[in-house]
Structure 1
Amino acid sequence: MLLRRLAPPLVLAALLIGLPVTAYADDYSAPLETAVSDLPVQTEVRTGYDRSKFNHWVDADGDGCSTRNEVLLEEADDPPTRSGTCTLSGGRWYSYYDRVSWYAPADIDIDHMVPLAEAWDSGARTWSAAERERYANDLGDYRTLVGVTDNVNQAKSDQDVREWLPAYDKCRYLREFVAVKHRWRLSVDSGEKSAMSTLAGTCTNTTITVTLAR
């Protein structure tokens, strides 16, 4: 199973041969309010978007489990039973968006914290197909993909922070949304940034740290 808190390859190599490890040059770290302020503002462009341009739920490591199932396996509070190639049954998952626990994989959607369409609008339209696939299956940071109640995810759809927030834990949601925007060097529009700034002002100014994916 792929791990979603992967250290950069050079750091892993240094650890293996006993070299001292310094801060990874491609990390971004700042308090929440600064992190919001640092997001570049660009006009969003939806032209040309199609969900199929983000090849998602691939089996990146060849173990038989799709990205969706990798997330389900990692986020389960009670692990599901795995059978066959990677069929999951049973288990328990907690959806922090609505603070509800579920006991069947089918009740959980894997939410792209920054929706695919929003990513397209914010810069992904200029990426290669390979980059969009990496984004849609990003297991390198636990904040990019999150298991949540299926109908809550459907209600969120492709909306940004200005347009939609979960019923609970809004500050956590904002921190994770901002982290993913920075990780993938995505922009925000002016209304989105204003909404983020307003919400950030009501939250603890916690430092956000991400390893940049591109």
Structure 2
Amino acid sequence: MSFRCRFTFFLLLWVCAPSFAQVVKLSNNKICHTPDSPFYERVKRFQRFSSLQDCLNEGGRLPQITPSGHPSTSNDRQYSRDAFGRGWSDSDKDCQNTRHEVLIQQSTTTPVLSSNGCKAEHGRWVSMFTGEVITSAKQLDIDHVVPLKWAWSHGADQWTNHKREQFANDPINLIAVEASLNRAKGAQGPDEWLPPKNECQYILRFKRVLVKYSIHTPNNIQSMVKRCLDK
């Protein structure tokens, strides 16, 4: 092979190399984009994976397919709190919605209710996040252990409305904690945010909810679960 041919050959390899180096992109809304995805080049902020399976194992999902046969964008099925029901439900129609039923159930003393019996106002709550004792319901939020938005991006967007509303009001997924910490947590999973205390209790509770609702556990969270169980 002549020098000119060898040079041309290696030049072609160098030019084509980026296409071979392309990786699977996990976007911020947890969608796995392979190089043949029409949105691949548009995804600028992402986590890199060497294979589609690795991306899916990390909690990613495939793009939605529209009736036209093309993948949908994230805007087609954007998260909305209303997808999980309009606020706290009162399924037994006793005037106490889910928030106040959780407060009543989790108070370690008989709570003081409002004059109409519909709301818990005072009691004794021990926060899972800090271990602190709180006596005023006004200082508490009801935390979704597995946040609704997190669940949405990990498969709940495919559930029925009934299942989503059940999930949002399921006591297994609800704990009374300091409002400030609940809002600091936001929609983050335990790989992004942990409470100041009782970390393993929180991680195992998170896993328990995932199992009940058949939500895939990302590898990094499963590793956290294993570390807690091995202690």
TM-score, normalised relative to structure 1: 0.69
CA distance in 2, matches of 1:74, 1:104: 15
Indicate the SS of the match to 1:91: strand
- Contact kept in structure 1, 2:144 and 2:175, CA below 8 Å: yes
- 8 Å contact from structure 2 (residues 111, 122) kept in 1: yes
Give the match's secondary structure for 1:103: strand
**Percentage identity across aligned positions?**
32
Distance 2:228 2:151 in 1: 24
- Pick the aligned partner of 2:60 from 26, 34, 43: 43
Check the 8 A contact 1:162/1:196 in 2, yes or no.
no
User: In the superposition, relative to structure 1, how do residues 195 and 41 fare at CA in structure 2: closer, same or farther (>3 Å)?
Assistant: closer
In structure 1, the residue matched to 2:197 is: 168
Aligned counterpart for 1:54 among listed residues 84, 102, 110: 84
* Alignment equivalent of 2:228, drawn from 203, 209, 214: 203
Q: Is the CA contact 2:107–2:124 (under 8 Å) kept in the aligned structure 1?
A: yes
Q: Residue 183 in 1 paired to residue 215 in 2?
A: no
Out of 75, 83, 100, the residue aligned to residue 106 of structure 2 is 75
Contact 2:190 2:221 in 1 (8 A): yes
User: Shift in Å at residue 204 of structure 1?
Assistant: 3.4
Deviations along 1:40-73, whole A, 9 cap, x unmatched? 6541586511112111311011111000101000
- 1:101 Cα shift? 1.2
On the 8 A contact 2:149/2:187 being kept in 1, the answer is yes
The one of the two structures with greater contact order (alpha-carbon pairs below 8 A, sep at least 6) is 1
Q: Secondary structure at the match of 2:170?
A: coil
Q: Is the CA contact (8 Å cut-off) linking 1:100 and 1:149 kept in structure 2?
A: no
Contact 1:113 1:177 in 2 (8 A): yes
Tell me the equivalent position of 2:123. Answer: 91
- Work out the CA distance in 2 between the residues paired with 1:200 and 1:188: 10
User: Equivalent residue of 1:52, what SS?
Assistant: helix
Deviates more, 1:42-51 or 1:149-158: 42-51
Q: Distance in 2 between matches of 1:179 and 1:194?
A: 16
Q: Give the aligned residue type for 2:193.
A: W
Preserved CA contact (<8 Å) 2:84 2:164 = yes
Q: In the aligned structure 1, how far is the partner of 2:145 from the partner of 2:130?
A: 15
Q: Which structure 2 segments of 5+ residues have no match?
A: 1-56, 64-73
Tell me, which stretches of 5 or more residues in structure 1 are unaligned? 1-39, 207-214
Distance 1:53 1:59 in 2: 17
For residues 137 and 59 of structure 2, the distance between their equivalents in structure 1, rounded to whole angstroms, comes to 37
- Over 6 Å off, 4+ runs: none
Q: 1:187/1:159 Cα in 2 relative to 1: closer, same or farther (>3 Å)?
A: same
Number of corresponding residues: 161
Alpha carbon RMSD of aligned pairs, Å?
2.1
Show the counterpart of 1:144. Answer: 173
Q: CA deviation at 1:187?
A: 2.0
State the TM-score, normalizing by the size of structure 2. Answer: 0.64
State the Cα distance separating 1:136 from its structure 2 match: 0.5
Deviations 1:146-186 (A, max 9, x none): 11111011111000011011111111111100000010111
Deviates more, 1:82-91 or 1:61-70: 82-91
How far, CA to CA, are the matches of 1:60 and 1:103 in structure 2?
27
Larger radius of gyration: 2
